[in-house]
């Protein structure tokens, strides 16, 4: 279970997140939408332990982030992924295998093949969409209990987005994985997510609250 309690994050005088609270139960595929700059990616980085909150706390299975043991149960996939120079999909798989004991290398190589990605090709030669597919494959095969995805559909054509959707749904069901997705692709979130929230002015709104805001002429996600 992911428990976010009264999280506040500021950048100078700017309040990015204010008293944000949310509980995500095990096995949930949770989608978070919202306006650009609403703080979606910041919240995800706080959950991954990349950032620290000014106030409040985040717990995963009762362990307070950034507890090392808790972080090993989380795979965080940012919008822009880091990799070493001269890296290949195979060397990236080996890197994650060293950090995540449950990493399934053969499944990873199978998914690379399904995406049409050569495991020994230089990652620098890949398009943004190809890199995204490679890291999605690694994220799933890390076999962690929690997967945090930032703009997972960005850079993918509609056909590949559909394939990624099916892959994530299969991971949630078959691996009992809890998935938290930040995205501006609301249509894709509707296809995959069992629960959704909408970040607006530092607060998380329910779908009903968001629809009410839209009906009143509010900003569009």
Average pLDDT of the segment spanning 14-38 = 91
CA pseudo-torsion sign 33, 4, 76, 105: negative
Assess whether pLDDT exceeds 90 at residue 174: no
Average pLDDT of the segment spanning 76-102 = 92
Residue 117 structural domain = 2-215
Does a structural domain hold residue 200?
Answer: yes
CATH number of residue 33's parent domain? 3.40.50.300
Assess whether pLDDT exceeds 50 at residue 221: no
Number of domains in the chain: 1
Does a structural domain hold residue 96?
Answer: yes
> pTM here?
0.89
What is the strand order of the sheet 203-205 is part of?
A: 74-77, 146-150, 178-182, 29-34, 195-200, 203-205
Assess whether pLDDT exceeds 70 at residue 60: yes
- Strands in 12-150 per DSSP E: 14-24, 29-34, 55-60, 63-64, 74-77, 146-150
- Strands in 167-216 per DSSP E: 178-182, 195-200, 203-205
Does a structural domain hold residue 187?
Answer: yes
Q: What dihedral angle (degrees, nearest 10) is formed by the CA atoms of 167, 173, 176, 178? A: 60
| Distance separating alpha carbons of residues 188 and 153, to the nearest angstrom | 8
Least confident of 108-122, 164-178, 197-211: 197-211
Average pLDDT of the segment spanning 21-37 = 91
Does a structural domain hold residue 121?
Answer: yes
Does a structural domain hold residue 175?
Answer: yes
Does a structural domain hold residue 220?
Answer: no
Does a structural domain hold residue 88?
Answer: yes
């Amino acid at each position: 279970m992911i428990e976010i309690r009264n999280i506040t994050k500021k950048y100078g005088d700017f309040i990015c997140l204010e008293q944000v609270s949310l509980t995500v139960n095990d096995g949930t595929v949770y989608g978070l939408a919202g306006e650009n700059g609403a703080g979606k990616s910041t919240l995800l980085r706080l959950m991954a332990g990349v950032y620290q909150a000014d106030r409040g706390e985040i717990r995963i299975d009762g362990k307070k982030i950034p507890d090392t043991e808790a972080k090993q149960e989380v795979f965080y996939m940012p919008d822009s992924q880091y990799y070493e120079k001269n890296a290949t999909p195979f060397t990236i798989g080996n890197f994650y295998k060293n950090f995540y004991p449950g990493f399934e290398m053969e499944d990873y190589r199978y998914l690379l093949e399904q995406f049409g990605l050569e495991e020994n090709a230089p990652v620098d030669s890949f398009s943004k969409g190809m890199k995204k597919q490679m890291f999605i494959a690694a994220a799933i095969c890390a076999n962690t209990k929690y997967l945090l995805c930032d703009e997972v559909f960005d850079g993918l054509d509609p056909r590949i987005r559909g394939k990624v959707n099916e892959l994530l749904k299969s991971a949630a069901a078959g691996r009992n994985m809890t998935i938290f997705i930040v995205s501006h692709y609301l249509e894709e979130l509707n296809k995959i997510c069992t629960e959704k929230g909408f970040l607006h002015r530092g607060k998380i709104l329910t779908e009903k609250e968001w629809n009410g805001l839209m009906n009143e002429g509010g900003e569009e996600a």
